[in-house]
Amino acid sequence: MKKSVHLYVLFLALFINSAYPLSHKNLEKEVENYLNSIKSLSAEFVQESGDVVSRGFLNIKKPGKARIDYKSPDDFLLILKNKRLIYYNFDLEEYANLPHNSNFLNLLASTNFAFSNFSTYKVKRSGKQLIADVEIREDELAEGRIYFKLIFDILANEKLSINSIIINDFVSAITNFKLVDTRYDVDISEKKFRFNNPNFFKKWNLCLHNA
């Protein structure tokens, strides 16, 4: 599961479902303005990866804070704060504190999303949707690149609303991450991004018991 952590991290900052007016003048700029206009986000999600369907909750608070709670079929969480990523699996009691060691993580919960940060990109309109294809090339990535597709719905009032994102890291199964019941610009407590490792307290209590 930890092998997929960077994959999960990459798309945290991109799942935002507010409405933003579409001017048709510069589609790339419209997407950038749309994503950068969001201050916070709270949503449920459905993630499909191969035959596995996962569900849970996503919270983002800019700048630089994000949390994903996976509730089924596995129970684990990811928290990003101060450019460090915490992973904890409640079923396995497995904990990892991962350093900020790849520059694509700068995109997570960023207030300055820009297509110029990517190796290649293309934004196009297809019917009632806007589709942004983006690729990252990075020596530190397992296969040297990650590709993802952002899909936005164009509403009747010509405003954007994100639909889903499709991710391909060329290692694991292609992942489709879709938001459900999204609320944006909501007040999210700082406590949401704090984590006390249960394993630490178990070991501490055991030491006290054996003393």
CATH, domain range 2-210: 2.50.20.10
Which H or E element spans position 92? Answer: none
pLDDT per residue of the chain (211 residues) written in tens, 0 to 9? 555 555 555 555 454 445 555 665 689 998 998 889 889 989 999 999 999 999 999 999 998 888 999 999 999 998 988 778 889 999 898 998 876 544 445 566 788 888 887 888 999 999 999 999 988 776 555 556 788 888 888 888 888 887 888 888 777 778 898 988 888 899 999 999 998 887 654 544 444 344 4
Kindly state the tokens that stand for 43.
């949503």
Amino acid letter at 99?
P
Kindly state the tokens that stand for 176.
């489709």
Q: Which residues of 95-131 are buried (b: 16+ CB within 10 A; e: fewer)?
A: eeebeeebebbebbbbeebeeeebeebebeeeeeebb
